Amino acid sequence: MSTTAQRPRADARDWLRAATTRRMLVLLLLVVVVASVCTRLGFWQLDRAGIRGQEAARIEREELMAAPAVPVTEVLAPQSAFTVEHFGRRVSLEGSFDPGQQVLVPGRNVGGQDALMVVTAFHVDGGPHGGAIMPVLRGWLPDGIADRLEAGGAGAEVTAPPPPTARLEIVGVLSDSEAAGESGLPEGVAGGISAGELAQVWGTPMYSAYLVLEEPAQPGGLSPAPSPVEELDADPNVQSLAYAVEWWAFALFAVVFWLKVLRDDVRESRLAAAGR
């Protein structure tokens, strides 16, 4: 018969006897204290990560909103990719609006009120970007489009105040293009502010972003659209997140350490029994 077959097997009573010795109970108490402290420190660091992330986002918002407007030619070119570095930049453009290229975007919410966004094509005039088209969110109206469409059917006409036609300089904040909205909407109504979708109707070259006017040009009942900078999400602070993970790892290590010591004690008792 092999040595392995002769070795006594440890049952639950062996583990219980080893775990309830005075040394293991004291060690268990110490592990519980250490693991509890490390766990709480981990959650404290997690809270700090959120607080620091919110503070960083607040500072970034203030910096973006206080930054002077620069010509769009220094920030973004037509047909080029829109990146996170472009988001929230204050830029200026010179050119004119096209009253015939305007869409309404329903289903939005501003300050708890249903809103209808008014987006108009702005044709850049002169400079290296001459002829480029920038979709401009001019402002918003109270959204009664659903009632009007229900009353008038698919052929119902929904209009918004026309833009100014004179050549002018506008200032606004860049925001990334949205995904294409639902299809089958009435003419002049879009499901989202999608540069790609608008380019199919308005033509090219077009910027891969849209501009949110700080103040509506020739308002005519339009209210200023909320700045995309105000909706800037706060990312947790990476350093604090790393510290939180480290504290939780220490807590887990303490538990694993106690289990390892317990396993060693059981093994020693088994060897002693085999020797006897």
Which pLDDT tens digit goes with each residue over 144-191?
Answer: 655 554 444 444 455 678 888 889 999 999 998 888 767 667 778 888
- 107 residue type, one letter: G
Position 71 in a domain: no
Is a pLDDT exceeding 60 seen at residue 202? yes
State pLDDT tens for residues 39-88: 998 888 887 777 766 666 666 666 667 678 889 999 999 999 998 888 88
Q: Is residue 177 part of a domain?
A: yes
Higher pLDDT, 12 or 195: 195
What are the structure tokens assigned to 21, written together? Answer: 């010795």
Question: What distances in angstroms separate CA 249 from CA 59, 125, 244, 254, 256, one per listed residue?
Answer: 32, 60, 9, 9, 10
- Domain range for 31: 3-52+236-275
Q: What is the pLDDT of residue 270?
A: 79
Pair 97, 221 in one domain: yes
Q: Does residue 185 fall inside a structural domain?
A: yes
Q: Between 219 and 54, where is the model more confident?
A: 54
Residue 244 sits in the same domain as residue 198: no
Of the given ranges (6-20, 30-44, 133-147), which has the lowest mean pLDDT? 6-20
- For residue 188, the tally of other CB atoms under 10 A from its CB is 12
Residues 119 and 171 in one domain: yes
* 172 shares a domain with 142: yes
Whether 141 is covered by a domain: the verdict is yes
| Lowest-confidence pick of 151-160, 161-170, 242-251, 266-275 | 151-160
Tell me: do 243 and 131 sit in the same domain: no
Mean pLDDT score, 199-227: 83
pTM: 0.62
Question: What does the block give as tokens for 16?
Answer: 């219980």
In this prediction, residue 5 carries a pLDDT of: 45
Q: Are residues 166 and 203 in the same domain?
A: yes
Q: Is residue 200 part of a domain?
A: yes
Query: Do 110 and 181 reside in the same domain of the chain?
Result: yes
pLDDT of residue 150: 45
Mark whether 158 and 137 lie in a shared domain. Answer: yes
- Structural domain includes residue 81: no
| Claim to verify: residue 243 and residue 179 sit in the same structural domain | no
Query: Does 80 map to a domain?
Result: no
Top-confidence residue, 146 or 116? 116
